[in-house]
Amino acid sequence: MKNIVILVSGSGTNLQRIIDSIESGDIQNAKVSLVVADRECYGLERAANHKIDNVLIPRGKNFSSELDKIIPQDTDLIVLAGFLSILKPEFCENWNGKIINIHPALLPKFGGKGMWGMNVHHAVIEAGEKESGATVHFVTSGIDEGEAILQKSFEVTENDTAETLAEKVHLVEYEIFPTAINKVLGN
Ligand code: GAR
């Protein structure tokens, strides 16, 4: 059984998708051993609803070192599911190849500092992009720079707004995240 730790900052619909995928058997041979949030958010409640251990470590310069103290050493995979803090380079190096993130755009486009959540969708609309999508990638010390694991795109239409893109991207995320996790776990 592989142990997954999930980091969240917000509503946690991707966290929910992962929990549901484990419960339904779509993600095999894995359990969520811990959910960590960097702020008060609904993601913590989702974890509690499923009796998953959950901890709040306030965001800030000590987040990575505090996480390091509590993360179980037998953790096989750390999943960033709508997590908005930047992990320290030493933490990323210690867990190299074992941290993955979901990003709401087609990396390497629309990644890097400041490119998160709705900011990404506004930037995609302003740039007049013909397509958008989501990317699951390994986390390294360079923001959104790690190797892509899975990516899926869709067409951006004339009527799309940042809000409709956010909805469409979420649907793509729910599709590719469990597949990417299975892939990384070797399932
Ligand atoms: C997701 O769209 C995820 O890609 C994005 O935040 C949203 C969280 O939604 N992550 C980032 O922007 C990280 N750079 P959720 O809380 O409903 O899963």
Active-site residue set: 103
CA 40 distance to own-chain centroid:
17
Query: Would the CB of 116 count as within 6 Å of ligand 1?
Result: yes
Which one-letter DSSP state was computed for residue 101?
A: E
Given a contact cutoff of 8 angstroms between Cβ atoms, the answer to whether 15 and 82 are in contact is yes
Coil, helix or strand at residue 146: coil
Coil, helix or strand at residue 7: strand
Given a contact cutoff of 8 angstroms between Cβ atoms, the answer to whether 32 and 52 are in contact is yes
pLDDT tens track for 16-74: 999 999 999 999 999 999 999 999 999 999 999 999 999 999 999 999 999 999 999 99
Query: Would the CB of 170 count as within 6 Å of ligand 1?
Result: yes
Domain spans of the chain, in order of start: 2-185
Q: pLDDT at position 7, please? A: 98
- Of all atoms in ligand 1, which is nearest to the CA of residue 169? 2
- Of all atoms in ligand 1, which is nearest to the CA of residue 81? 18
Q: Which of the four pLDDT bands, split at 50, 70 and 90, describes residue 83? A: very high
CA 34 distance to own-chain centroid:
14
The per-residue DSSP string of 24-75 comes to HTSS-SEEEEEEEESSS-HHHHHHHHTT--EEE--SSTTHHHHHHHHS-TT-
Which amino acid belongs to residue 103? Answer: H
Q: Which CATH architecture has domain 2-185?
A: 3-Layer(aba) Sandwich (3.40)
Of all residues in the chain, the percent with pLDDT exceeding 70 is 100
Mean pLDDT of 139-158: 97
Q: pLDDT at position 32, please? A: 98
Whose alpha carbon is nearest atom 9 of ligand 1?
82
